[in-house]
């Protein structure tokens, strides 16, 4: 009987453990590094508004769908799609929907780990007091020296991938849960310190205006697509992460509540990061469009000018690395679960295999910041191309497939039961209708707009 399927890889020990792990997966570089720089590059307010709408109208319903598919299927994402499709008398080819997701997580991790490495490098700069009273130019120099040296980046990338592989190899309870439970509160406190500092710069209101006052002239169709892609990226959707985490979720936990808590925690961290960073950008006459280096060029200025700045900066970059780490773990888990089940390998062997290939791919990203920075395809570097392909194309496609699957393929009695609601319940119907119409339509509109169809 389908609903009695057991998890193959253990279960979360409690509801809080699941929420912590899933928030740990969601909160990471996407919130603190990526959200500020893409907001800066796409004009601020209007971009943020689209991003928030996408989180509410697509992110949360799709996250619920993904967790419930995972909990019902209890296998790696590709197999889960295949068995649930068969049960609903649909084609097994749905397998490939899961596979695309697994592949995108795999690809994302290869560059994610390189950026996490930047965070590691900054721990040492901070601890050695390099940010004390530094000017914007000094900080710029520290950043440029770091990214222009492929060996520094390779060293950190290797460490991050090895550590991630190691923790994932340890398995669920030992590895994941323990590493996560203290991160979230500490992260919030450190971000609040940065926001408090931002209030003293005299540019706080300017920062808030940039972040929250929509000016649609500044947002291109491409910008809207990036906001959409980011809503998936930041919530860790569409790669099977939430499916495998859902697969380890005990039956008695409310999926709706969990999805809401995760989304709220995730967006709060992103908005706090934005509220901390933009006032500093304006106070120092920096460019909001500085790109992927944005937080690495701005935050040290704040730390360098506050009391106990070196200590706080050190903690901050430790936390950033940690937040990245819990997300990296979640990016690796779906491919590991897939390889283990598909090739009947031990967890440790599957981890080694996936970890090595991802490590190798990461070298492309490393070189795209130095030796190969002028080597471009479609005027994008290797890193930019990989980011574009995964976040803006593969994730929205995956999200679309998940929405379609959850409402057209999976029987509604099953989803209602997993959500612990009556199929006639208003909330349940609203959820279904959103997935049925709003999310596919929105994804399609933005994509067509981007492709220049109208």
Q: Does 397 bind ligand TRP (CB under 6 A)?
A: no
By CB under 6 A, is residue 269 in contact with ligand TRP?
Answer: no
Q: Are 427 and 202 in contact (CB under 8 A)?
A: no
From the list 105, 246, 293, 304, which residue makes contact with ligand TRP (rule: CB under 6 A)? Answer: 105
Q: Which is nearer to ligand TRP, 152 or 234 (CB)?
A: 234
User: At closest approach, how far in Å is the CB of 45 from ligand TRP?
Assistant: 21
CB 118 within 8 A of CB 156: yes
For ligand TRP, the closer CB: 165 or 432: 165
Helix (H) or strand (E) holding 108: helix 95-127
234 binds ligand TRP (CB under 6 A): yes
Task: Report the candidate in 219, 236, 246, 230 with the shortest Cα–Cα distance to residue 391.
Answer: 230
Q: How far is the CB of 263 from ligand TRP (least distance, A)?
A: 11
**For ligand TRP, which stretch binds (CB under 6 A), given 10-18, 181-189, 234-242, 289-297?**
234-242
Side-chain-side CA neighbours of 163 within 13 Å: the count stands at: 18
- Residues for the chain: how many in total? 454
Q: Does 267 bind ligand TRP (CB under 6 A)?
A: no
Backbone φ and ψ of 380, nearest 5°: -120, 145
Site string for ligand TRP, 280-319 (x = CB under 6 A): ----------------------------------------
Place of tokens 């808590």: 261
Does 434 bind ligand TRP (CB under 6 A)? Our answer is: no
Is the CB of 28 or the CB of 274 nearer to ligand TRP? 28
Nearer to ligand TRP, 96 or 429 (CB): 96
Beta carbon nearer to ligand TRP, 25 or 265: 25
Give the nearer residue to ligand TRP in terms of CB position, either 30 or 288. 30
Does 330 bind ligand TRP (CB under 6 A)? Our answer is yes
User: Which CB atom, from 25 or from 120, has the smaller least distance to ligand TRP?
Assistant: 25
Give the pair of three-digit tokens for residue 115. Answer: 């950026």
For helices 439-451 and 221-234, angle between their N-to-C axes, nearest 10 degrees: 140
Instruction: List the one residue from 17, 19, 22, 25 that touches ligand TRP (CB under 6 A).
Output: 25
Task: Please give the backbone phi and psi of residue 86, each rounded to the nearest 5 degrees, phi first.
Answer: -60, -45
Under the binding rule (CB under 6 A), the answer on residue 236 touching ligand TRP is: yes
- How far apart CA 445 and CA 454 sit, in angstroms, is 10
Q: State which residue, 272 or 283, has the beta carbon closest to ligand TRP.
A: 272
Q: Which of 110, 113, 164, 239 is the binder for ligand TRP (CB under 6 A)?
A: 239
The H or E element containing residue 377 is none
Q: Closest by alpha carbon to 9, among 164, 246, 167, 172?
A: 172
From the list 450, 306, 438, the residue with the least C-alpha distance to 392 is 450
Minimum CB distance to ligand TRP, residue 236 (Å): 3
User: Alpha-carbon distance 166 to 155, whole Å?
Assistant: 17
Q: Which of 56, 119, 111, 134 has the alpha carbon at shortest distance from 430?
A: 56
Check binding of 29 to ligand TRP (CB under 6 A): yes
CA 116 to centroid of chain Cα atoms: 12
The distance of Cα 253 from the centroid of its chain, to the nearest Å, equals 23
**331 is a site residue for ligand TRP (CB under 6 A):** yes
Name the minimum Å distance from CB 351 to ligand TRP.
Answer: 16
Q: Does residue 233 belong to the site contacting ligand TRP (CB under 6 A)?
A: yes
Question: d(Cα 227, Cα 449) in Å, to the nearest integer?
Answer: 14
Q: Which residues bind ligand TRP (CB under 6 A)?
A: 25-26, 28-31, 105, 108, 233-234, 236, 239, 241, 327, 330-331
């Amino acid at each position: 009987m389908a609903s009695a399927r057991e998890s193959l890889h253990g279960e979360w020990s409690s509801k809080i453990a699941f929420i912590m792990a899933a928030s740990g997966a969601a909160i990471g570089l996407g919130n603190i590094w990526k959200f500020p720089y893409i907001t800066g590059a796409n004009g601020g307010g209007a971009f943020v508004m689209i991003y928030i709408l996408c989180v509410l109208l697509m992110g949360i319903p799709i996250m619920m769908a993904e967790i419930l598919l995972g909990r019902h299927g209890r296998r790696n994402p590709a197999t889960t799609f295949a068995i649930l499709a068969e049960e609903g008398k649909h084609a097994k080819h749905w397998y490939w929907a899961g596979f695309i997701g697994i592949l995108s997580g795999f690809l994302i991790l290869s560059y994610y780990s390189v950026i996490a490495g930047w965070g590691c490098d900054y721990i040492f700069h901070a601890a050695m007091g390099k940010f004390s009273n530094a000017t914007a130019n000094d900080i710029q120099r520290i950043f440029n020296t770091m990214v222009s040296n492929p060996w520094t980046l390779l060293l950190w990338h290797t460490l991050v991938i090895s550590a991630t592989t190691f923790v994932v190899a340890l398995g669920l309870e030992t590895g994941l849960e323990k590493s996560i439970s203290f991160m979230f509160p500490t992260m919030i406190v450190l971000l609040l310190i940065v926001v408090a500092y931002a209030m003293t710069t005299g540019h706080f209101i300017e920062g808030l205006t940039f972040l929250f006052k929509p000016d649609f002239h500044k947002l291109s169709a491409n910008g809207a697509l990036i906001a959409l892609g980011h809503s998936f990226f930041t919530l860790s959707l569409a790669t099977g992460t939430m499916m495998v985490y859902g697969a380890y979720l005990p039956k008695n936990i409310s999926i709706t509540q969990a999805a809401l808590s995760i989304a709220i925690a995730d967006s709060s961290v992103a908005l706090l990061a934005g509220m901390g960073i933009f006032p500093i950008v304006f106070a120092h006459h920096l460019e909001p469009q500085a790109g992927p280096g944005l937080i690495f060029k701005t935050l040290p200025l704040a730390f360098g000018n506050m009391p106990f700045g070196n200590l706080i900066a050190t903690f901050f970059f430790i936390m950033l690395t940690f937040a990245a780490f819990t997300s990296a773990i979640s990016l690796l888990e779906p491919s590991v679960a897939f390889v283990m089940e598909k090739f009947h390998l031990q967890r440790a062997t599957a981890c080694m295999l996936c970890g090595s290939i991802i490590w190798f791919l990461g070298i492309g990203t490393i070189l795209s910041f130095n030796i190969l920075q002028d080597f471009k395809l479609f005027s994008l570097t290797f890193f930019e191309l990989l980011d574009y392909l995964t976040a803006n194309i593969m994730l929205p496609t995956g999200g679309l497939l998940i929405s379609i699957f959850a409402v057209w393929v999976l029987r509604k009695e099953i989803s209602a039961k997993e959500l612990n609601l009556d199929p006639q319940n208003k909330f349940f119907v609203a959820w279904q209708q959103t997935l049925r119409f709003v999310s596919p339509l929105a994804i399609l509109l933005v994509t067509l707009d981007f492709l220049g169809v109208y």
